[in-house]
Chains A and B, each alone.
Chain A
Amino acid sequence: MSKFIIQVNSPAYGSGSSYNAYRFAEAAVQNGHLIDKVFFYQDGVLNTNSFNSPASDEFDLQSAWLSLSQQYKFPLVNCVSAALRRGVLSVSEAQENNTKHWNMEAPFIMGGLGELVTGIESADRLVSF
């Protein structure tokens, strides 16, 4: 049994890597490994934009991340500065920035890059996509 931290650097749509990250995470937990957390960095924060609205016959990567994390109890953490730069805001950042709307909700959470680093420290292996 290994403990993984998974870093996702690509958006939900337009690149295959974040789907690959999801499939890796799914295979890891189904084979008895632990996922410390999934950390969204760079364009990966766009996986957490709740305005993502794929057509009904397309794979909905965001809801797939949500159900996997709920089933296996691992957190989904955004790098807050990478998210803000790309227009992904939770309700509290929306209030701070006086915008009327927000597009990230629980169980996705905002965190600092330090959460990636402490995750790397405690996990057996970082896998980046």
Chain B
Amino acid sequence: MKKLCIVFSQGPHGNAKGREALDLALLSASFEQQVSLVFTDEGILNLLKNQAPETVGAKDYIATFGALPLYDIETILVCEAAMKELALTEHDIKLEVQFCSSQAIAEHFNHVDEVLVF
């Protein structure tokens, strides 16, 4: 078992990174790795409520974030500074997450085996 941290750093619907990051997160958890997620920069936009990806021809993988608890992925860190930059509040976020400083996220990286950035 390894501790994997998957970082979402790009917006959800202009490229496939978020979708393929989420695929890897769920698959890793089903292979019994200890998986944590970090959302930073525009990656936070993956977590917004009321999205309709089909309207831009994209698959609605956003709904799949709801499955994270079923896969025992409970450590979900969201960068406070990026929230502020995007003028978002915790009410905009659809999952139960921990809002963290950049320093706390950097500290988290020290406690995992691998960091995969998407």
Interface residues of A (CB under 8 A from B): 7, 41-42, 81-82, 85, 112-114, 116-118, 120-121, 125-126, 128
Contacts and interface: CB of A to CB of B under 8 A. Distances in A.
B83 to A, nearest CB: 26
Contacts, number: 37
**Interface hub of A82, A125, A126 (most chain B Cβ within 10 A):** A126
Given A113-B27, A114-B31, A120 B20 contact: no
Is chain B's interface secondary structure helix, strand, loop, or mixed overall?
Answer: mixed
A42 B16 contact: yes
Interface string B1-30: 110100000000000110010011001100
Contact of A121 (B1, B20, B24, B116): B1
B31 A118 contact: yes
Contacts of A128: 116-117
16 contacts: A7-B116, A85-B16, A113-B24, A113-B27, A116-B24, A117-B24, A117-B27, A117-B31, A120-B2, A120-B28, A120-B33, A120-B114, A125-B114, A126-B116, A128-B116, A128-B117
